[in-house]
Structure 1
Amino acid sequence: MLGGCVLAAACQTPSALFPIGPSPATNSGMDHNRIDQRYMAAAIRLARRNEGLTGTNPSVACVLVRDDGEGWYVVASAITAPGGRPHAEPIALAEAGSLAKGATAYVTLEPCAHHGRTPPCAQTLIDAGIARVVTAVVDPDERVNEKGHAMLRAEGIHVTAGCMAKEAAEGLAAYLIQKAKNRAQVTLKLAVSADGFIGIEGKGQVAITGPVARAQSHLMRARHHAILVGAATVIEDDPELTCRLPGLQGRSPIRIVLDPNGRVQPGAAAIRTAGQGRTIIVLGEAVPQAHRLALQAAGCTIMPCEMEKGRVALPELLEDMAAAGIHSVLVEGGAKTAAAFLQEGLVDQVMLFNGAGKIGGTGKPVTSPVGERQLAAFEKRETLTLGEDTLTRYTAR
């Protein structure tokens, strides 16, 4: 499932994605495993709608299905609410009302088993009379980690775990990586021309892909907590680093600029517009206090960084981001920033746009930092055609 390719569904309500009412023709002849896969696949697609919007909680979907003798049908569906609360299960149960009793719940992540601001979702499912629960991924949180499944089974509810786990884990990657590695997930996005270049030195932003590919790029931004670039990109390209898709402007990610030497000036577009969206500048200790104050006056947040051999210590930075609630980072920096993340082995996913045109022959072209040698550490998952361009997704092996 290519992150960001479901553009048409991004603004639909959950109920618009599923037919409500019996539909025996579409379920006729399907065995139980195929039915489970069908509805779990629907839940996985639905969960992607709120990626990047649920704070430190993952975007989880719950689809409630029942068969009253005329075929399986969806009675309710929900996603984790923006901000992370409430969870998907209580929203779906409230929508279903009395129809939840005896239904099957398809949930992309194991229902929580601990008391927080709200009761455990596992208990909520029990209280609603759910007969069966199908889950995709076990929640690695030590407060859950099979405890939700155990609560359900203890009440006589049949539990099927691991349905389409690999597919669901892709949408939950930021949450799972944060739990397993205590750092933010990193997606590296690059656009490469047909002759292998990502830009021309001193020319600012150079168009490599067409409008369809650029729209997908902006949708990627909307699905991440933060977008990160190096100081050179801000100085040379002066980007705003926002999501400019109609209807999704409010989902622009946090902007993070790596500027250990304090080169970025308050007049840069990303700094001038800091009041419109959170902007973090990563500065080294040697940056003068006057420069820090000027950036703060413009509305920026200063994040101090550790240095290693004259460069930002990226592993520690990603840990700091995770601690600050930033669990997914889209790296759109230039060649040096991309190469630094790759060399540290910190890239979890590569989104590689290949443009149809060539940009060499004028000025000094910048060679792509991602070639066959770098991609050997990744598994090619899928390729999408976007007008004259292509987008290929790779995940770390």
Structure 2
Amino acid sequence: MTIKSINQVWTSWMRRVLELASLADGQTSPNPLVGAVILDVNNQLVGEGFHSLAGEPHAEVEALAQAGALSKNGTLIVNLEPCCHQGKTPPCTEAILKAGLSRVVIGIKDPDPRVSGKGISLLKKAGIEVITGVLEKEASYLNRAFIFRNRTGRSWGVLKWAMSLDGRIGLPNGSSKWISGEISRNSVHCLRAKCDAVIVGGSTVRNDDPLLTSRGLAETEPLRVVFSSSLDLPSNAKIWKTDLAKTLICYGPESNPELLENLPNGPKRLPLSKSTPKKLLERLAEYGCNKVLWECGPSLATTAINQNCVQELVLFIAPKLLGGVSAMTPLCDLGFSSMEQVIKLSEIASSRTGEDFVFKMVLGEY
């Protein structure tokens, strides 16, 4: 085979690896999404697997178990550098060396400082051929939240809102149910299922009384986070019922913690040193949250954007006109005075959900 055709083989199988990895989207945090395939000496598939849950076997181990002795002198293709440290499971590099593989093809280097290049170095020292950078852009995008958390120390933020075609999220009297259609609302449940936490402010709890679950689509429901500076919260809100999903109440030093006594004991309390979105996402990263979903009102959404706590937007646009000069808009003043200051977005995808339009975009690089 020529070098070009060999590279095409690695690229083709890496696409399969990324498909496998994405099967556990939303379920592996604080770990990354990882898939793996094993090819025998004739480049025929003999094993494949993916990491399904933190604490469960890694993708490489799953694939090697399926391949058995057929992995001898074969090739492992994996989207992320194999780990070389002892965590909840043994190092994957040990399993690779024991299997007698001759080659490892990798999408991207692991950003986790416990690994970052060390796994690759160990494999090379053992005489294994290591090829890196195969579908690097695609592999980075798949694990953008994991990469971001390791580089910045805070969770990757996704901001979602639904609005009319004329940019309104509600009528002047506050009515907003429902701007988007039922299919779009079901899509939001899917979006929640792929996030580790869903964040709302106190005003959303008071005005909308949301449940904030995936409606059973996630094996483990995302953590529901109420971020309140006043702690003036209703005692009978749906979100306090923790039999469906866990709830975390987060508040800053200016809050009156005595108000917590009015709330049920089910939700956990998390005091913050600063009542800011950035501090909140730092603490959620410590909780192991790779990706969080902002489902908050305009004021908190604007602050989150200004503090670089939103990396991705998911917009549902309904073909409706709400009008009204005083009608609600999704964001408050961002403080810009010229067009050179505005935030430029990169469109990743656009689609339809029923009668609505959906746009998914990123702010900056990942």
Q: TM-score w.r.t. structure 1 length?
A: 0.83
Q: Which residue among 46, 49, 52 is the counterpart of 2:26?
A: 52
Kindly indicate whether the alpha-carbon contact (under 8 Å) linking 1:205 and 1:237 is maintained by their aligned counterparts in 2: no
Aligned partner of 1:356 in structure 2 is 319
Tell me, in whole angstroms, the C-alpha distance in 2 between the residues paired with 1:342 and 1:360.
25
Q: How far apart are 1:341 and its partner, in Å?
A: 0.7
**Runs of 5+ in structure 2 lacking a partner?**
none
Instruction: Using the aligned pairs only, state the percent identity.
Output: 32
Q: Which residue among 226, 231, 242 is the counterpart of 2:213?
A: 242
In structure 2, relative to structure 1, the CA distance for the partners of 1:32 and 1:375 (3 Å cut) is: farther
Q: Tell me whether 1:276 sits opposite 2:244 in the alignment.
A: yes
Kindly indicate whether the alpha-carbon contact (under 8 Å) linking 2:297 and 2:330 is maintained by their aligned counterparts in 1: no
Kindly indicate whether the alpha-carbon contact (under 8 Å) linking 1:57 and 1:84 is maintained by their aligned counterparts in 2: no
Q: How far apart are 1:122 and its partner, in Å?
A: 1.6
Tell me, in whole angstroms, the C-alpha distance in 2 between the residues paired with 1:77 and 1:109.
15
Q: Which residue among 175, 183, 188 is the counterpart of 1:212?
A: 183
Q: How far apart are 1:378 and its partner, in Å?
A: 2.7
Tell me, in whole angstroms, the C-alpha distance in 2 between the residues paired with 1:318 and 1:185.
8
Alignment of 1:83-162 (within 5 A): 83-162=54-133
Q: Which residue among 17, 37, 58 is the counterpart of 2:11?
A: 37
Q: Which residue among 366, 375, 379 is the counterpart of 2:328?
A: 366
Aligned partner of 2:278 in structure 1 is 315
Alignment of 1:282-361 (within 5 A): 282-297=250-265, 299-307=266-274, 312-360=275-323
Tell me, in whole angstroms, the C-alpha distance in 1 between the residues paired with 2:90 and 2:59.
13
CA distances 1:150-194 after superposition (whole Å, capped 9, x unpaired) = 122222222111111111112212211111001111111121211
Tell me, in whole angstroms, the C-alpha distance in 1 between the residues paired with 2:70 and 2:214.
39
- SS of the residue aligned with 2:20? helix
Kindly indicate whether the alpha-carbon contact (under 8 Å) linking 1:231 and 1:264 is maintained by their aligned counterparts in 2: yes
Kindly indicate whether the alpha-carbon contact (under 8 Å) linking 1:203 and 1:236 is maintained by their aligned counterparts in 2: no
- SS of the residue aligned with 1:163? coil
Aligned partner of 1:21 in structure 2 is none
**Runs of 5+ in structure 1 lacking a partner?**
1-29
* Count of matched residue positions in the alignment of Structure 1 and Structure 2: 358
- SS of the residue aligned with 2:328? strand
Q: Tell me whether 1:253 sits opposite 2:222 in the alignment.
A: yes
Tell me, in whole angstroms, the C-alpha distance in 1 between the residues paired with 2:193 and 2:258.
33
Kindly indicate whether the alpha-carbon contact (under 8 Å) linking 2:211 and 2:238 is maintained by their aligned counterparts in 1: yes
Q: How far apart are 1:138 and its partner, in Å?
A: 0.4
- RMSD over equivalenced CA pairs, Å: 2.5
CA distances 1:228-262 after superposition (whole Å, capped 9, x unpaired) = 011111111111000025xx254321000111101
Q: How far apart are 1:294 and its partner, in Å?
A: 3.5
Aligned partner of 2:353 in structure 1 is 386
In structure 2, relative to structure 1, the CA distance for the partners of 1:167 and 1:262 (3 Å cut) is: same
Q: Which residue among 227, 236, 241 is the counterpart of 1:267?
A: 236
Q: TM-score w.r.t. structure 2 length?
A: 0.89
Q: How far apart are 1:339 and its partner, in Å?
A: 0.8
Tell me, in whole angstroms, the C-alpha distance in 2 between the residues paired with 1:48 and 1:54.
10
Kindly indicate whether the alpha-carbon contact (under 8 Å) linking 1:204 and 1:236 is maintained by their aligned counterparts in 2: no
Tell me, in whole angstroms, the C-alpha distance in 2 between the residues paired with 1:73 and 1:218.
39
Kindly indicate whether the alpha-carbon contact (under 8 Å) linking 1:114 and 1:120 is maintained by their aligned counterparts in 2: yes
In structure 2, relative to structure 1, the CA distance for the partners of 1:261 and 1:50 (3 Å cut) is: same
User: Structure 1 counterpart of 2:78, which letter?
Assistant: V
- SS of the residue aligned with 1:63? strand
Aligned partner of 2:344 in structure 1 is 377
Kindly indicate whether the alpha-carbon contact (under 8 Å) linking 1:53 and 1:84 is maintained by their aligned counterparts in 2: no
Alignment of 1:164-203 (within 5 A): 164-200=135-171, 202-203=173-174
Tell me, in whole angstroms, the C-alpha distance in 2 between the residues paired with 1:50 and 1:196.
34
